[in-house]
Structure 1
Amino acid sequence: MQNNRKITALSPTGSMATPIPASLPNNTNSEDDEPRPRPQGSSILLDASSSKRKSAFLPYRPQSTVLTNLQRGNTEATFCPVEVSLSFHERAGQGEITEEQVKTELQRQHHIDFKDAHGFTPLHWAASYGQLAAAHLLLAAGAKVDSLAPDFVTPLLLAAAGGHNEIVRLLLERGASANHMDIVGNTALMYAAAGNHPHTCSELLSRDLDFSATNENGETAYALAVEQGSHLAQTLLEQYMMAVLTTGAFGSI
């Protein structure tokens, strides 16, 4: 059954947010995805002109417009008279927060889970952009691992979608729900499988999760991996299923 739910989540810039790309600049713990063609005739990829989200399994994430080519290391340094002012959320997304800054925000906000204009916490930003050190600082300050952003998106879902397996492991160790579903019924494993992140899939499969869970389109994590041509994740999931059938347990892969 096709999902007809309309999603209107906005980016911090105020424009319609876009899905997480397969690869991000300066993510030290993201996995390298193998090149794969865009799937044709997908039941969950919608027309670009549609008001619905283009992908029912990729969540929206905080969008930062302040990461310049200079910051990415793509150009030589030049003098810039304009000082760029970043919010605490944006600094968390760039991994540029310190323990002192966290303490200052705690005194100002009384808790570290204060949300930006579009409902994302600093931990959502850090998880989405793969900033492990920032995630550690925020969790030490009491950040909730299962804090909800629009569409019921948690930090774990964002980290899984980006293939940030170290952050996925950290969040799971701190009690994040591996079986949590977003507004259209997608789990972290579905995000990781569709995004072709086998190491992230492995982290999630080491937990007590429902491998057979389906989203509102009736698709499992394995079905999404096959549909999206995510061959690395597909192979990992097939090995997992074979291990379950033959030994009843999933060993290291």
Structure 2
Amino acid sequence: MDSPEECSSSEEQDIKSIILPSVTPSLNSQDFKSKAITYNLSPSLGGGSKQWTVNRKSAFLPYRHQNKCNTTVLTNLQRGNTQAQNPFPQISDVNFHAKAGQGELTQQDVDNEPSVDIRDKHNMTALHWACHYGQVSTVQLLLNCGANVNLLGPEEESPLHLAASGGHHEITKMLIKAGSDVNHVDHMCNTALMYAAKGNHPHTCKELLLNGADCSLVNLNDDTAHTIAIDNNSTLAKTVIRNHLISKFEARSVSPTDSPPTEQDIKS
């Protein structure tokens, strides 16, 4: 599949993805997702001693890759060795899923497809791509057309996982409102909250926590969202999660079964 152009997050300035250096992929590059696998990074989020084999893919590197072609062109442009060229394919070459990632999807595009949830060759839906690249208007269009928010990608990732990993707060709210499972785990048992904690996205973390995200869940590396935030120096996310845990602890410290004070208790 041709890969969509990466777009900026709608998050505030202090919400920045730290999964990989931001590199805008070319839409006409081939096997976009398979190239991401060549990083061979460990899926460990906590930075502890536990490591997976290098051939095991990390769920926290969703569909990013270094585009060597574009890097070479950019270098040549800086040196004045070549003229600027449009890196994007012609309109006829941009398919349904690529348009979703670019934020250029229209109602007519949706109507032309047999299903709004049609998958590409990587088993991804248009909603997956739009959520990953933070395309708010496209996500809203797809939801209005009945897109299933709980369909899973090839690594059992939901659209919410991808939105949370990029710190796309508004999209996170939209998906939750549409019925997305906030505690769904992917193939590495990572939750959307873990993605948000890894990327240091406090607003996304708070939105997930306010809607029932479970802080106690652990992934296959025995990390919780809180330990992931600590180990990755995600200070903003750590503060949000820690405050949530403190508030829960304080709420439990007052037993709901305690009887109200009697008149004798008051007098004494």
TM-score for the superposition, normalised by structure 1? 0.73
- Give the structure 1 partner of residue 62 of structure 2: 60
Q: 8 Å contact 1:99–1:137 — kept in the other structure?
A: yes
Structure 2: which 5+ residue stretches go unaligned? Answer: 21-44, 72-76, 253-268
Shift of residue 26 of structure 1? 3.4
Q: CA RMSD in A?
A: 3.4
1:113 aligns with 2:105: no
Q: 8 Å contact 1:196–1:233 — kept in the other structure?
A: yes
SS at match of 1:153: coil
Identity %: 37
Q: 8 Å contact 1:62–1:125 — kept in the other structure?
A: no
Q: 8 Å contact 2:17–2:167 — kept in the other structure?
A: no
Counterpart among 104, 110, 113 of residue 112 in structure 2 = 104
Shift of residue 80 of structure 1? 5.0
1:170 aligns with 2:177: no
| Larger fraction in helix | 2
Q: 8 Å contact 2:16–2:201 — kept in the other structure?
A: no
> Could you say if the C-alpha distance between residues 206 and 150 of structure 1 is closer, same or farther in structure 2, counting changes exceeding 3 Å?
same
- Give the structure 1 partner of residue 137 of structure 2: 133
Task: For residues 136-193 of structure 1, give each alpha carbon's deviation from its aligned partner in whole angstroms, at most 9, with x where no partner exists.
Answer: 1111111100011111111000101111011010000000000100011111001101
- Give the structure 2 partner of residue 216 of structure 1: 220
- Give the structure 2 partner of residue 179 of structure 1: 183
Distance 1:236 1:212 in 2: 15
- Give the structure 1 partner of residue 25 of structure 2: none
Aligned AA (2:111): K
Q: 8 Å contact 1:62–1:120 — kept in the other structure?
A: no
- Give the structure 1 partner of residue 154 of structure 2: 150
Shift of residue 227 of structure 1? 1.0
- Give the structure 2 partner of residue 89 of structure 1: 97
- Give the structure 1 partner of residue 201 of structure 2: 197
Aligned length: 213
Counterpart among 3, 6, 11 of residue 30 in structure 1 = 11
Shift of residue 42 of structure 1? 3.7
Distance 2:142 2:64 in 1: 17
Task: For residues 13-32 of structure 1, give each alpha carbon's deviation from its aligned partner in whole angstroms, at most 9, with x where no partner exists.
Answer: 69xxxxxxxxx963141353
Aligned AA (2:236): L
Q: 8 Å contact 1:178–1:187 — kept in the other structure?
A: yes
Aligned AA (2:245): M
Structure 1: which 5+ residue stretches go unaligned? Answer: 1-11, 15-23, 249-253
Aligned AA (1:86): V
Distance 2:90 2:153 in 1: 30
Shift of residue 83 of structure 1? 2.6
